[in-house]
Amino acid sequence: MIAIRADLLDFTGVPAWQGTGLDGVRFRPDHWLLVGRDGRIQGAQAEDPGPGWQRHDHRGRLLTPGFIDTHVHCPQLDVIASPGAGLLDWLQTYTFPAERRHADPAVAADGAARFLDALLAHGTTAAVVFPTVHKTSAEALFAAAQARGMRLVAGKVLMDRHAPDGLRDDVAGAERDCEDLIARWHGRGRNAYAVTVRFAATSTPAQLAMAGALLRRHAGLYMQTHVAENRDEVRWVGELFPEARSYLDVYHRHGLLNPRAVLAHGIWLDAHDRALLRDTGAQIAFCPSSNLFLGSGLFDWQAAIDSGHRVSLASDVGGGTSLSMLRTLAEGYKVQALRGTRPSAWTLLHAATRGAAESLGLAQEIGHLDAGAMADVVVWDWAVGQPALHRDAIARGAVAGLAPQDLHARVFAWLMLGDERNRIAAWVAGRSPAAAA
């Protein structure tokens, strides 16, 4: 049993989009978080827990639920920060050559270990992940996640056309691989299987139909893909599927939209598409760093709220430029500012913790500090580096002549100025990542 002392911050409900008040926000300064032998949170208290607890005293630091990254690519650490191309050129020039190497089991295993350790080092304890088209890549990722005790949603990528040699499958072979991976890994430990369509342009109608059949055949599977990221991509998909009303409608026609569907980007959607997302329960994984880096466009989060469909936050590495969800949230704020609206720190943080868990149907397990939740938690320094330390001191009222600001101001500064250097310690199901690995 462990007890962690810190300033505890999480959410009990949905905070206001732009408000700085504390509705839905739970802040318990200088409290002990109590974690049982089963890796679940037992509760929190201001009083010393007494004997029998392994203490981790981080007083003066911040403790949050581990971040949930709802769209990220394991093999693309090889190509992160590769310059000079829009989405389709970037895939051909950088991504596909890197992914082809993961046909080698040794490369896949090494890449999976490096990737998951990097997530944990950045404060991300759960993720929805693309491996590659190769079965061995998915196997390696599931095995590495299980060794670390992480919550992982992933699945072999489906891609049977418009891809280079070594990265194409076929409908029958892909279905066999998926069935085997589902039997071996779905529901094993904290792994869950996602039917993983690369994007509509790289799957034939027959493969999309097979993907829909898998979802109908196996209750509880997820679906992950990309949608409407780039205008050239949208135009291409329209040419390939002229019978569909929109890019999103391609997936709907093949039975791929449901409450467990995670679609990355969703920049170039219209009101009909947003209503379809709302009605099917599917969510958009907003990937601000990637959208800015590849010049794809500015996601309209306010339109999503107005239409009632769900949004989570994602790094989308390697199109994104950092696995740090703090950096991702800061970029998300900037994208929305360019659209003329400014989400609160609470909205940003909720979308990467409890909000993401609820969107994935995992709120009984992760994303908050309720009793009974798995102890996937991270301890952070409020500030690192002289400018951030000075800004934090002002927020706390520790600078002579200045009154303390509200909690929102302090958390907002942490989100905008923080990154992986702020991460001090993490626990996955009550164990440190080093012990879990």
pLDDT in tens, 27-64: 999 999 999 999 999 999 999 998 899 999 999 999 99
Residues 385 and 418 sit within 8 Å (Cβ to Cβ): no
Q: Which amino acid is at 92?
A: Q
Residues 114 and 152 sit within 8 Å (Cβ to Cβ): no
Q: What is the mean pLDDT of residues 143-152?
A: 97
Tokens encoding 430: 């009550």
Strands 25-35 and 41-45: antiparallel
Residue 323 sits at φ, ψ, to 5 deg, of -80, -10
Q: Please tell me the predicted confidence (pLDDT) of residue 434.
A: 66
Single pTM value for the model: 0.96
Torsion sign, CA atoms 219, 224, 228, 234: negative
Q: Please tell me the predicted confidence (pLDDT) of residue 436.
A: 47
Locate all alpha helices (DSSP H) within 267-351, ordered by sequence.
Answer: 271-280, 288-293, 301-307, 325-338, 345-351
Residue bearing the bigger pLDDT, 180 or 50 = 180
- The percent of residues in the chain predicted with pLDDT above 90, rounded, is 86
Whether residue 437 has pLDDT greater than 60: no
What does the pLDDT look like over 97-128, one tens digit per residue?
878 888 899 999 999 999 999 999 999 999 99
CB within 8 Å of 263: residues ≥ 6 apart: 224, 225, 226, 227, 248, 251, 277, 282, 283, 284, 285
Whether residue 435 has pLDDT greater than 70: no
The residue among 95, 94, 101, 131 whose CA lies nearest residue 113 is: 131
Q: What is the mean pLDDT of residues 359-373?
A: 98
Q: What is the mean pLDDT of residues 395-421?
A: 89
- The percent of residues in the chain predicted with pLDDT above 70, rounded, is 98
Map tokens 């706390």 to a residue.
396
Residues 266 and 296 sit within 8 Å (Cβ to Cβ): no
Q: Please tell me the predicted confidence (pLDDT) of residue 404.
A: 75
Q: What is the DSSP letter of 72?
A: E
Q: Please tell me the predicted confidence (pLDDT) of residue 400.
A: 67
CB within 8 Å of 247: residues ≥ 6 apart: 200, 227, 228, 233, 234, 237, 238, 268, 273
Distance from C-alpha of 10 to C-alpha of 319, rounded to nearest angstrom: 29
Locate all alpha helices (DSSP H) within 122-229, ordered by sequence.
Answer: 135-148, 171-185, 205-217
Calculate ∠ Cα 368-305-259, nearest 5°.
60
Confidence of residue 92 (pLDDT cuts 50, 70, 90): confident
Q: Which amino acid is at 264?
A: A
Strand ranges (E), 66-211: 67-73, 124-130, 151-154, 157-158, 191-197
Q: What is the mean pLDDT of residues 139-149?
A: 97
Tokens encoding 257: 């939209």
Residue bearing the bigger pLDDT, 305 or 84 = 305
